[in-house]
Structure formats: structure tokens, C-alpha cells
Amino acid sequence: MDAMHAVHPFPPVWDAHCRVLVLGSFPSVRSREIGFYYGHPQNRFWRVMERLFDQSVPPDTEGRRAFMLSHGVALWDVLAACDISGSSDASIRHAVPNDVPALLARGCVERVFCNGQRAYALYLRHLDAALSLPVRALPSTSPANAAWSLERLTDAWRAIL
């Protein structure tokens, strides 16, 4: 598949009460189609959130946005634009970071977590020098990370609590 230039098509999930920021790398094709985070049905992000907060996650975009905000968790991605083949993080080239420092300057985020090693590597390359908050990589919730069971993912993601 040939790489195409893609621009992040939707805003962060954020308000001034968020204490935690979870950063992905760049939205998948499915997420870009539906206009919201972790839209691929096989991505386990929303199932992990249900287990962490012991509460059902609504299936719709506005419900999911409200769910995350009610738990003080912001969502965004490291990149604002890039050249990418499909949804392959490994194919990302010509990365342009989102203005995460400006977002963080407006609120009370205390901790930053990256969803997967690629998001973490992109964060370190493009954003780390501009931010003073500690950042931690968590195992990817992507279906490509099949080695991690839902139970193992949930245990690792307890760090956001």
C-alpha cells in the first residue's frame, strides 16, 4: 500500500479538569473514517477502559468523550499529520507533531501516557524536549499487539489510575 499524506481529522478529548493525558501515535483508517479515537472494532482501548473504571463505555462518540472526561482522562495523538500507509504506525514518515505543550499549558494534566511503543518513540522524538511532565509507555491496545491479552493490558493500564 502506498503512503498517503494524512492530517489528524478531529480534536483532542480534553477539558481543564483532566489529570491524565493518553497519547496515541496517529488515528487508524477506521478512526479517521468515524472521526474519533480507537475506532477499529478490534482495538481493545475501550474494553480496557471499561475494566479500569468498572463501567460500560457508551458506543457513540459523544458518550465516549463524556466517559473519558468524567474520569479526568484526556485523549489525543502525538502527530497532527504524517505520511502513512493505511494504519501502519511503522510506515509513518514526515511526522508533524500536535501542539501538546499548548494543550497542557491550559489545564491540570499531571501525567502523560503513550499507547504503545511507537507513540512513545514519536513523543520522545518530537515533544519530550518541550514538556516537563513525566511520560510512560503503556502496551498498545492495537489488535497488532496480539501477544498481550485483555487481562494483561488492563493490569498494565492501571497505571493511569
Task: Please report, for the domain that includes residue 155, its CATH number.
Answer: 3.40.470.10
Q: Which three cell numbers stand for residue 14?
A: 480534553
CA angle 153, 156, 24 (to 5 degrees): 75
Cα separation, 4 vs 118, in Å, equals 19
* pTM for the structure as a whole: 0.96
Domain limits for position 138: 4-160
How many domains is the chain partitioned into structurally? Answer: 1
Residue 42, SS3 per DSSP: coil
Average pLDDT of span 106-135: 92
CA-based nearest residue to 78, from 127, 151, 16? 127
Cα separation, 69 vs 105, in Å, equals 18
List, for residues 24-55, the tens digit of each pLDDT value: 999 999 999 999 999 999 999 999 999 999 99
